[in-house]
Structure 1
Amino acid sequence: MFIDSLIVGPYQTNCYIYGNEETKSAWIIDPGADADKIINALNKRDVIPVSVLLTHGHWDHIMGLVKLVETYPSLEIFVGKKDLCYLGKEGKAYINKYCFDLTFLQSFKNEINNLPEADYTLNGGEYLDDCHFKVIATPGHTPGGVCYLDEENNILFSGDTLFANSIGRCDLEGGSYSEIQDSLKKLMKLNDEVIVLPGHGPKTSIKAERNNPYF
């Protein structure tokens, strides 16, 4: 097993490639942008992506989808059920309504206009057999936010729910402070040893975040 971390797009999103050298398979978490960079990393490892696992549907986490799906036609997209509205035609409408970054809108016009739909939706509680991830529902930053837990290796992909010494903002459309607090309490039940790989910024751990000032 390996994990490659790539910083992509204008919002410095952490995209992760979780790969298996033996099966030559990989899973992409949050391809925020820079699809060519992600594809190059996959080629360097000589792996083929099986799925894209979205922690949530905000635009800074999904702009790499269009080219990835074009490059790998069998690629499957997973997203929290309540975040379906951020993809496809609904996603285009959402971005054009709520994104006020004109440079972003212009730079990613093609990606926004051609956002793919999700193939599978998640409610939390699922176990993804191929990559051995447990899905944890963590609404708050978005209604359908999820985290992916690799229990065997004590690794949590936390998206924009939990950061190093911070938490995800809840003032965007669909955000809820009370929900993210409940989600954070859920994450704090994990073992201290769990390494947290967030959607932005440096990695941290559950142990370190027990002193997070935003809880």
Structure 2
Amino acid sequence: MLIAGFPAGSFQANCYVVAPGAGEECVIVDPGQDVVPGLDDLLREHRLKPVAVLCTHGHIDHVWSVAPVCGARDVPAWIHPEDRHLLTDPGAGISGPGAQIFGGLQMSEPDDVRELVDGAILELAGLQIEVTHAPGHTRGSVTFRLPGENVLFSGDLLFAGSIGRTDLPGGDYPTILRSLAACLTLPDETVVLPGHGPQTTIGRERATNPYLAEAAPLAGPSTGI
């Protein structure tokens, strides 16, 4: 199994490539702002051929480069239907001054957009990828799990020491707590590859993350995106 990634753009959102090994087909997870040069380098280094782009959710920092990446390589993008509108209307996922700034961006859908379904098993690039709808950060947030590898791409659901903010349009704190509770049914050794920041494990977050404690804070974080 080959998993590689890097933080992209001013938002430092993690973009990942996943493949059975070097020299094989791969999927790309969350190609965000200014991702193309770094992504091209990564694909060239490992001799990978992308077959799909997977989006954990529709926020601009995670989907900024979806259309150009898909268009350049003629591959489909997968996103939950509740977040599909954010591919063309990024301002709808942001509140305050940012909504006006990013709402002015000219964005388009890739030619081939496919909708994710809760519980689906995607068979792509020789991989089995389990999709779980995990709303709360956005209505269409999902996680991607590689069951045989104990790896979870959590998007902005779960971070090392924190969780996704819920004060943006489509966010809801009680809902994200339910999504997190479902996430915590995974084994402790499950490696969590989040949308921002370093990797962690389910066991570490279960033991130390204040938002996962029995008496969770009354509100989620209000920084980040």
TM over 0.5: yes
CA distance in 1, matches of 2:173, 2:98: 24
Equivalent runs, 1:107-118 vs 2, <5 Å? 112-117=105-110
Quote the offset at 1:39 in angstroms.
Answer: 1.6
Residue from 147, 150, 153 that aligns with 2:146: 150
Give 1:182's aligned amino acid.
Answer: R
Tell me the CA shift for residue 105 of structure 1.
4.3
- 1:15-54 maps to which residues of 2 (within 5 A)? 15-21=15-21, 24-33=24-33, 34-54=35-55
Is the 2:15–2:30 contact (alpha carbons within 8 Å) kept by the matching residues of 1?
Answer: yes
How many angstroms apart in 1 are the aligned matches of 2:52 and 2:63? 13
Query: Residue 202 and residue 115 in structure 1: after superposition, are their counterparts in 2 closer, same or farther (change >3 A)?
Result: same
Deviation at 1:47, TM superposition (A): 1.1
5 Å-filtered alignment, 1:70-149, equals 70-73=71-74, 75-88=75-88, 91-92=89-90, 94=92, 98=95, 100-101=97-98, 105=102, 112-117=105-110, 119-130=113-124, 131-149=127-145
Residue 70 of structure 1 deviates from its aligned partner by 2.8
Judge conservation of contact 1:170–1:176 (CA < 8 Å) in 2: yes
Change (3 A) 1:139 1:92: closer
Find the aligned partners of 2:192 and 2:90 in 1 and give their Cα distance: 30
Task: State the partner residue of 1:62.
Answer: 63
Instruction: Name the CA distance, whole Å, in 1 between partners of 2:148 and 2:63.
Output: 27
C-alpha spacing 1:214/1:22, structure 2 compared with 1 (3 Å) = closer
Identify if the C-alpha distance between structure 1 residues 194 and 146 changes in structure 2 by more than 3 Å, giving closer, same or farther. same
Confirm or deny: 8 A CA contact 2:156 2:196 kept in the other structure: yes
Output the TM-score relative to the length of structure 1. 0.89
CA distance in 1, matches of 2:154, 2:51: 20
Shift of residue 175, structure 1, vs aligned partner: 0.4
Matched, 1:160 2:152: no
Asked if structure 1 preserves the Cα contact closer than 8 Å seen for 2:132 and 2:143, the reply is: yes
CA contact (8 A) 1:65 1:115 kept: no
Using the alignment, how far apart are the partners of 1:193 and 1:94 within structure 2? 36
Q: Which residue of 1 aligns with 2:199?
A: 203
**Change in CA separation of 1:23 and 1:42 when aligned onto 2, cut-off 3 Å:** closer
The answer for unaligned runs of 5 or more in structure 2 is 213-225
State TM-score, norm by structure 2: 0.85
Question: Would you say 1:172 and 2:168 are equivalent positions?
Answer: yes
- Does the CA contact (< 8 Å) of 2:53 and 2:70 recur in 1? no
CA distance in 2, matches of 1:62, 1:174: 16
> Paired residue for 1:213?
210
For residues 164-210 of structure 1, the C-alpha deviation after alignment (integer angstroms, 9 at most, x for no partner) is: 01000000001011110000000000011100000001100000111
1:33-55, CA deviations, whole angstroms, 9 ceiling, x for partnerless residues?
A: 22121122112211111111100
**1:144-167 residue CA offsets vs partner (Å, 9 max, x unmatched):** 100001010100000000000100
